[in-house]
């Protein structure tokens, strides 16, 4: 039997929640609906969904606050979040992504776009993404345990940054344009802007800490992961053997 992905819809406007729920159900998803942060927390307490559609403007705690909290919670940190927002400003969209959202949809949206984004985010998270353990210059990524370490220290990465790093590491030293990254990492980039790549690269560098400069910007070309960053990985001098 095919598994129906469970989507939690956190939305205080019943008409929008209804529209989303009906369309998702018609397309093979199970949906639950929470009207505010308190009921969303109760819902997650009883069952962790496969994906969360999260409205930005909610009574009480905002979607932004919820996204940050769920990202910090081990129980929910890997659940993809798509923010629903009437705010189309770039600064707001970046704030949503910075809070840990994997994608955002600006209201009003078409149900076609909603479904495309839901599918794209779930595809990025899918089990087919699991690959081989890979190591580059002290940085190790293990898809089977979902762990990333740098010189044996554990690093914390969001789902999109993990996927991005995995792609970079599997093709280390090669330069990828933003369009190529959208195609290979996001899978379905019809509705995603190239600016999104920059946001996730920035987050990836921050998450990598001391190894962050292994992700290089190649002017006019894109990004690559290199074992030999132009700026040394650690500020401390390495003693030669």
Contact footprint for Ca ion (CB under 5 A)? 12, 55, 57
- In angstroms, what is the minimal distance from the CB of 111 to Ca ion? 18
- In angstroms, what is the minimal distance from the CB of 92 to Ca ion? 14
Beta carbon nearer to Ca ion, 84 or 204: 84
Euclidean distance between CA atoms 129 and 9, whole angstroms: 25
Beta carbon nearer to Ca ion, 62 or 170: 62
Residue closest to Ca ion when measured from CB atoms: 57
Euclidean distance between CA atoms 19 and 58, whole angstroms: 17
- In angstroms, what is the minimal distance from the CB of 18 to Ca ion? 14
Instruction: Note whether 124 and 185 are within 8 A (CB).
Output: yes
Which residue has tokens 């606050």?
A: 65
Residue 138: Cβ-neighbour burial (10 angstroms; 0-12, 13-18, 19+): middle
Instruction: Note whether 110 and 91 are within 8 A (CB).
Output: no
69 membership: H or E segment, kind and range: helix 63-72
Beta carbon nearer to Ca ion, 37 or 160: 37
- In angstroms, what is the minimal distance from the CB of 148 to Ca ion? 35
Beta carbon nearer to Ca ion, 67 or 155: 67
């Amino acid at each position: 039997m095919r598994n129906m992905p469970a989507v939690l819809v956190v939305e205080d406007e019943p008409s929008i929640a209804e529209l989303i729920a009906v369309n998702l159900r018609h397309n093979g998803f199970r949906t639950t609906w929470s009207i505010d942060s308190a009921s969303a927390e109760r819902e997650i307490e009883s069952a962790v969904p496969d994906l969360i559609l999260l409205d930005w403007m909610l009574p009480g705690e905002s979607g932004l606050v919820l996204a940050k909290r769920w990202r910090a919670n081990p129980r929910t940190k890997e659940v993809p979040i798509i923010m629903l927002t009437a705010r189309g400003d770039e600064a707001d969209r970046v704030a949503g992504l910075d809070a840990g959202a994997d994608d955002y949809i600006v209201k009003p949206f078409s149900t076609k776009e909603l479904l495309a984004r839901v599918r794209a985010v779930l595809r990025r998270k899918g089990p087919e993404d699991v690959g081989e353990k890979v190591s580059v210059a002290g940085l190790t990524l293990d898809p089977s345990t979902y762990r990333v370490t740098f010189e044996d220290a554990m690093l914390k990465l969001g789902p999109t940054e993990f996927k991005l790093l995995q792609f970079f590491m599997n093709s280390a030293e090669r330069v990828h344009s933003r369009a190529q990254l959208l195609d290979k990492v996001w899978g379905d980039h019809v509705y995603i802007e190239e600016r999104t790549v920059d946001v996730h690269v920035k987050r990836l560098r921050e998450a990598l800490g001391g190894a962050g400069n292994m992700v290089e910007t190649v002017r006019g070309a894109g990004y690559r992961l290199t074992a030999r960053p132009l700026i040394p990985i650690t500020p401390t001098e390495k003693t030669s053997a």
